[in-house]
């Protein structure tokens, strides 16, 4: 330990921005508080943020710059499909309750859509269309479970499902056509579970709202 540093116990009291792992003080000077940890006698930052010293209790903590917003049951999410499974999709969350987030959180949703509200499962299997999802599709869902530290969402309601997507074949713009999308350039069509407001306009409105907030 640097003896010169020890003789200046308040030398670290400033508002410099911290990165995870940055040295804040020694444990002889301040105890480790929220969003800090101790490594070999050094109190270090465990998050992005600013130093916060409690001189009365001789404790240092970190005020996070952007506190992560975690979904709760009932929250509405919008994001893009990042992975496809046999009957599930993984959604990278971009908006939580119409507010842009940058936490890098994901949610899992089933692609099995009921046509009768689950009342007639056999009839559902017979009538259910072959829905196609692609990586990159923008999807709106609602969180219904946080089991096993994972966010589980449904896309089964009328206002939920694919909000926007490009043509898988040529990358052109698509429009809603009954229960499917159709490319206005090459004519390719696919059946998807579409949100009631499918289209680029829904995303533009959402982006404008968030720009006005900032």
Quote the CA–CA distance of 166 and 137 in Å, as a whole number.
8
pLDDT band at 199 (very low <50, low <70, confident <90, very high): very high
Looking at residue 115, its pLDDT comes to: 55
Quote the CA–CA distance of 210 and 200 in Å, as a whole number.
16
Looking at residue 13, its pLDDT comes to: 42
Looking at residue 147, its pLDDT comes to: 85
Residue 127 has pLDDT above 60, yes or no: no
Residue with tokens 């490319």: 183
Quote the CA–CA distance of 59 and 38 in Å, as a whole number.
12
The partner residues of 173 in beta bridges, in order of sequence, read 166
Tell me if 69 sits within 8 A of 137, measured CB to CB. no
Q: Hey, what are 97's tokens?
A: 């309750």
147/107: higher pLDDT: 107
Residue 161 has pLDDT above 70, yes or no: yes
Residue 155 has pLDDT above 60, yes or no: yes
pTM (whole model) above 0.75: no
Segments in the chain forming alpha helices (H)? 3-6, 121-127, 200-213
- The two most distant CA atoms of the chain are separated, in Å, by 78
Percent over 90 (pLDDT), the chain = 51
Quote the CA–CA distance of 7 and 95 in Å, as a whole number.
49
User: Nearest to residue 44, comparing CAs of 29, 60, 55?
Assistant: 60
Per-residue pLDDT, averaged over 163-181, amounts to 93
Quick one: 163 exposed, middle or buried, by C-beta within 10 A (0-12, 13-18, 19+)? buried
């Amino acid at each position: 330990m640097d003896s010169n540093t020890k003789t200046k116990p308040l030398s670290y009291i400033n508002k410099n921005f911290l990165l995870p792992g940055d040295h804040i003080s020694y444990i002889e000077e301040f105890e480790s508080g929220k969003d800090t940890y101790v490594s070999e006698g050094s109190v270090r930052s465990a998050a992005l943020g600013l130093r916060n010293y409690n001189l009365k209790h001789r404790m240092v903590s970190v005020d996070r710059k952007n506190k992560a917003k975690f979904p709760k049951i009932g929250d509405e999410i919008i994001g893009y499909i990042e992975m496809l499974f046999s009957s599930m999709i993984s959604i990278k969350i971009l908006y939580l309750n119409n507010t842009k987030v940058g936490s890098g959180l994901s949610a899992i949703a089933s692609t099995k859509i009921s046509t009768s509200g689950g009342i007639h499962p056999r009839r559902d299997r017979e009538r259910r269309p072959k829905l196609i999802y692609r990586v990159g599709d923008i999807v709106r869902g609602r969180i219904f479970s946080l089991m096993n530290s994972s966010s589980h969402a449904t896309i089964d309601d009328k206002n939920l499902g694919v909000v926007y997507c490009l043509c898988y074949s040529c990358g052109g713009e698509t429009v809603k056509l009954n229960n499917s999308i159709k490319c206005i350039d090459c004519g390719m069509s696919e059946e998807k579970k579409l949100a009631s407001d499918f289209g680029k306009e829904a995303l533009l409105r959402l982006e404008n709202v968030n720009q006005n907030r900032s």
